[in-house]
Structure 1
């Protein structure tokens, strides 16, 4: 597992571009809200730490992780949005729903990013248990929201 090898909140910011005039859209799933709020806070704080202005970071919510794709598209279609960060949590249950949701979101976000030629970041926590999800929402493996914000900044400098 990748997060066992590297903390999600540890990164090198030495090559970051100036993001003070960049605009970021956060799309956050309401399902597993306590977790997704923590991911969102990590992303937001990371963007501000590296120079984003609070008025240039927008948060929109969608019901669940499956809806992240449309939420991302609705933001990405706006020329003034430079990057979209999508945050959600899918925990494996008794059925294979998690496989279908995760695959659909990954494919959908890739398509949106390519369609609008801008970073659309996959910040989806996909775990087997609630404990593992908390480990990736500020716990022992860091915060996936931080990692997603860092990815957005890095991609804007590409």
Structure 2
């Protein structure tokens, strides 16, 4: 669904499991920092709102969105997090760099989801301009960070539920 048809921060809280006892990693890009810090704030606050303890949320920063995959991989391999939320912002410019970064981070996060038994959440904005990014980082279209946190909670709950049926 196109974001302009749905607010990223709108969800039914009764459909969100408790995050109590869950551990989360958030890897956030430093590039487009005004945007990515707003995404981080949204994700962090939403996790806490749904019961995650602050000490169970580990934040790691990487230089750019392309490095999100590497940061997420190290969070998975070197910590006991239940899921990793990747937050970044790539704004289209005048060169094909946008396409390469977007393709690389998308494929990288997909590969992590296949390789590891922990959910890796795609919370990367890929916008045509800065205003579109602001609109999706706490602006009029909500916050992609909120959406990433809700997705992480739901996926951890799903994994835990399915493990019980093993």
- Structure 2: how far apart are the matches of 1:13 and 1:64? 32
Q: C-alpha deviations, 1:1-36, integer Å up to 9, x for none?
A: 711111000012223223211110000000001110
Higher helix share: 2
TM-align CA RMSD: 1.1
TM-score normalised by the chain length of structure 1: 0.96
Q: Secondary structure at the match of 2:21?
A: coil
> Paired residue for 1:80?
80
Contact 1:77/1:116 (<8 A) preserved: no
Taking the TM superposition and a 5 Å limit, the aligned residue runs for 1:36-55 are: 36-55=36-55
Taking the TM superposition and a 5 Å limit, the aligned residue runs for 1:7-156 are: 7-78=7-78, 80-156=80-156
Q: Secondary structure at the match of 2:52?
A: coil
Cα deviation, residue 79, structure 1: 5.8
> Paired residue for 2:162?
none
Q: Secondary structure at the match of 1:157?
A: helix
Cα deviation, residue 52, structure 1: 0.1
Q: Secondary structure at the match of 2:111?
A: helix
Q: Secondary structure at the match of 2:38?
A: helix
Which structure 1 residue ranges, 5 or more long, are not aligned? none
- Structure 2: how far apart are the matches of 1:83 and 1:104? 20
Which structure 2 residue ranges, 5 or more long, are not aligned? 159-166
- Structure 1: how far apart are the matches of 2:88 and 2:79? 24
Cα deviation, residue 116, structure 1: 1.3
TM-score normalised by the chain length of structure 2: 0.92
- Structure 2: how far apart are the matches of 1:61 and 1:102? 18
Q: C-alpha deviations, 1:54-101, integer Å up to 9, x for none?
A: 000010000000000000000012461100000000000001111111
Q: C-alpha deviations, 1:90-138, integer Å up to 9, x for none?
A: 0000011111111110110111122111110000001001011100001
